[in-house]
Amino acid sequence: MPRESTLEFVAGSHAADTWFMPRTFVEETPMVFEPGTLADVPDIEADRDAHEILGWALEPGDAVAFHMLTLHAAAGSRERRRAFSVRLIGDDVTFAPRPHRTSPPFEGLERDLEAGAPMDHPLFPVLWIAD
């Protein structure tokens, strides 16, 4: 994919200690959280030069990894584009029930795990164990 069609990232935005409201792509309605509970995403496009925006041309087999709080977006593409998304957690993560819908939703997980329990569940397979 050419650079102009790939994901872009606002460098350092994950470290700002601000959680931004995720919104749907088309209707731009709030996802997961109630409206007004998180900060609105700043209008990066209005002043792109004020931000360090990162992105790369990608070849088949390339991978991009980023922190979940990093502001990111893609302009879209007129060409066919395929992506595979994986969310990874560390071995120190424990279950923290949420009062809101999560993305992705893990309906019924609270029946299998107690608050504070390790994420030892078939929905969270171990991909790698350090020696």
Domain chopping of the chain, boundaries: 1-85, 89-131
**What pLDDT score was predicted for residue 28?**
84
Say how far apart CA 26 and CA 125 lie, in whole Å. 32
**What pLDDT score was predicted for residue 85?**
86
**What pLDDT score was predicted for residue 29?**
83
Band the pLDDT of 23: cuts 50, 70, 90: confident
Q: Which of 24, 8, 1 is nearest to 82 (CA)?
A: 1
- Residues 50-62 have pLDDT tens digits of 999 999 999 989 9
Q: Are 32 and 103 in contact (CB under 8 A)?
A: yes
- Residues 59-106 have pLDDT tens digits of 989 999 999 889 998 887 777 878 888 889 999 999 999 887 787 888
Say how far apart CA 65 and CA 25 lie, in whole Å. 21
Show Cβ contacts of residue 58 under 8 Å, excluding neighbours closer than 6 positions: 1, 6, 64
**What pLDDT score was predicted for residue 64?**
94
Whether cis (ω within 30° of 0) applies to the bond prior to 99 is: no
Say how far apart CA 87 and CA 38 lie, in whole Å. 21
**What pLDDT score was predicted for residue 21?**
87
Higher pLDDT, 74 or 8: 8
